[in-house]
Structure 1
């Protein structure tokens, strides 16, 4: 089955978010990715709170990387799926050579190919 014309590539978008935002240690590079991948005024829903704005989302990603150390990374599991503006990607995270520390999923509302709202769900 082929996706309708204009349908976002959910897998590419959600993987880019994981790699270029949540795994990016350079703040300027991370913010450039946030600006490209997220809408002008995105909202991210985390278990501990709600974050609004591109800069704040980039700051949260950077703080997570600092908190967990230099070899901590998020890794996509499988292929992201989605339709009608809603995409879903499972992931796990932990040290590169260590055990998985956390598993979860990102669920994103997408408009015009960019993330408008992102829910971070932890297992």
Structure 2
């Protein structure tokens, strides 16, 4: 597994971590302190902003897990991948793809796109 694949796996693990202290530790490994995260619903800057975003998604979609939907495609200091959010072993409720910028071995920017979103969310 390449360093980029491992980095994306750590980033995904942060989205699945339910303990706030453990999630902060994973984020510290995976993203820069001033990470920028933008998707159609939110735009935040900083590790704390990303952590708050993850916590809000976890509250809204309680018990669901984020998983990779594709292999990580990377070149230079950027990568893209699809992802799914849904019950463990079940059909995804939300799906999309992210493009990440890597700086010094950590993610410095995430540009997220939503492909499937349940109505009312």
TM over 0.5: yes
Q: Which TM-score band (shorter chain)?
A: 0.7 to 0.9
Q: Secondary structure at the match of 1:100?
A: coil
| Pairing 1:104–2:106 present | no
**Deviation sequence 1:39-91 (CA, Å, 0-9, x none):** 12110011123111101101111111111112x01111232121111011111
**Deviation sequence 1:90-109 (CA, Å, 0-9, x none):** 11111125431111112100
RMSD: 1.4
| Pairing 1:54–2:59 present | no
**Deviation sequence 1:9-64 (CA, Å, 0-9, x none):** 22111121012x11110000001111111112110011123111101101111111
For residues 63 and 26 of structure 1, the distance between their equivalents in structure 2, rounded to whole angstroms, comes to: 13
Structure 1: gaps (5+ residues): 1-7
Moved over 3 A (4+): none
Aligned pair count? 114
Determine which structure has greater relative contact order: mean sequence separation of CA pairs < 8 Å that are 6+ residues apart, divided by chain length: 1
| Pairing 1:16–2:10 present | yes
Structure 2: gaps (5+ residues): 116-121
Closer/same/farther in 2, CA of residues 114 and 31 from structure 1, 3 Å limit: same
TM-score computed with the length of structure 2 as normaliser: 0.87
TM-score computed with the length of structure 1 as normaliser: 0.85
1:115: how far off? Answer: 0.6
Q: 1:95 matched to which residue of 2?
A: 87
For residues 50 and 93 of structure 2, the distance between their equivalents in structure 1, rounded to whole angstroms, comes to: 21
